[in-house]
Amino acid sequence: MAYKLLVVGGGRMGSALVAGLLAANWCSPSELAIVQPSSPKREALAERFGGVTILDQVTKGDVDDHTGAVLCVKPDHAEAVARTLSGVGVSRLLSVVAGLSTQRLEACFKSSVPVIRSMPNTPVLVGAGVSAISGGEHSVAADLEWAESILGAVGTVVRVPERYQDTVGALSGAMPAYLYLIVESLIEAGVHQGLTRELSSTLVTESFAGAGQLLKLSVESPEQLRFNVTSPGGVTAAGIRMLEQRAVRAAFLEAVASAAERSRQLGR
Ligand SMILES: NC(=O)c1ccc[n+]([C@@H]2O[C@H](COP(=O)([O-])OP(=O)(O)OC[C@H]3O[C@@H](n4cnc5c(N)ncnc54)[C@H](OP(=O)(O)O)[C@@H]3O)[C@@H](O)[C@H]2O)c1
């Protein structure tokens, strides 16, 4: 039986996508297959996603002219898996593999299959990610719309020229880690001021989640939202002054530049 979509790799990213696609009624469970070689993971996926077919490998019988695939394996396996997908006749490919260009993926296919590269981030695990997509040489508007509809099931999607993908990885891709580092540091700061770890953790985590929601829902800019909390000569102003003295802004500029350069190195 041919499937509408093959999700190749049933790890964190693959299973988050399947959960989002099913929740959004992108297709019926029977039109979806997850390709996952290891047996314990297959059993767990079958239990979690009733009605979705879990395959240990993909064969020609799983594919027809309309079957697309999402590549959700680790970068080291990606090109070999793409060659297998070419061999069985997959008609278009969306890749979430970090740092792997559309050009390299296109080279894995015998024909001119549309390839769309994307960079999602970990909040896709809770349906609140942001993904940037870029079409390769053979992809047209309908292919980008197809990719957008898949990643749109787990968050916001933006389109970027592929040359920006290293920066996107260094910014929104890495950003959950930057933010968690801030959260960790602030929890520690509360503890150093005498709060219990549990209390400090609740105060910081809730403030983090609430400030994110306020930023998303408010019509005010991030600067204005910060000004709103910073009374002249007040408590927050004293804290901000110290952060500026320690060049926190410059540290973020350097962090993103350094991460983007590392992404470029890894993609070579
Ligand atoms: N997690 C993120 O935040 C994030 C963000 C952006 C992009 N990405 C990209 O997403 C991709 C997947 O990341 P992940 O975090 O989901 O990794 P993961 O949890 O390790 O999932 C990868 C899955 O692929 C399976 N696999 C290995 N070889 C395969 C094959 N030949 N055919 C089919 N499946 C195979 C693995 O099975 P075994 O475990 O049995 O080997 C595993 O279940 C990576 O390329 C990464 O760059 C991830």
Can you give the pLDDT at residue 267? 78
**pLDDT greater than 80 at residue 92:** yes
* Pocket of ligand 1 contains residue 35 by CB under 6 Å: yes
- How far is the centre of ligand 1, averaged over its atoms, from the C-alpha of 122 (Å)? 13
Q: Which two tokens stand for residue 16?
A: 């988050």
pLDDT at 8 (0 to 100): 98
Q: Is residue 99 within 6 Å of ligand 1 at its C-beta?
A: no
pLDDT > 80? residue 268 = no
Instruction: Give ∠ CA 68-70-71 in degrees, rounded to 5.
Output: 130
pLDDT, the chain, mean = 97
Q: How far is the CA of 72 from the centre of ligand 1 (A)?
A: 5
Alpha carbon nearest to ligand 1 atom 2, residue? 122
**Residues near 257 by Cβ (< 8 Å), separated by ≥ 6?**
170
How far away, in angstroms, is 223 Cα from ligand 1 center?
37
Residue 11 beta carbon below 6 angstroms from any ligand 1 atom: yes
- Of 239, 237, 217, nearest to 228 by C-alpha is 237
pLDDT at 10 (0 to 100): 97
Q: What is the pLDDT of residue 192?
A: 98
Instruction: Give per-residue pLDDT as tens, 96-151.
Output: 999 999 999 999 999 999 999 999 999 999 999 999 999 999 999 999 999 999 99
Give the pTM: 0.94
pLDDT tops 90 at residue 248: yes
**Is 246's pLDDT higher than 90?**
yes
All structural domains of the chain, each given as residue ranges with its CATH number in brackets, are 5-161 (3.40.50.720), 173-267 (1.10.3730.10)
CA gap 140, 143 in Å, rounded: 5
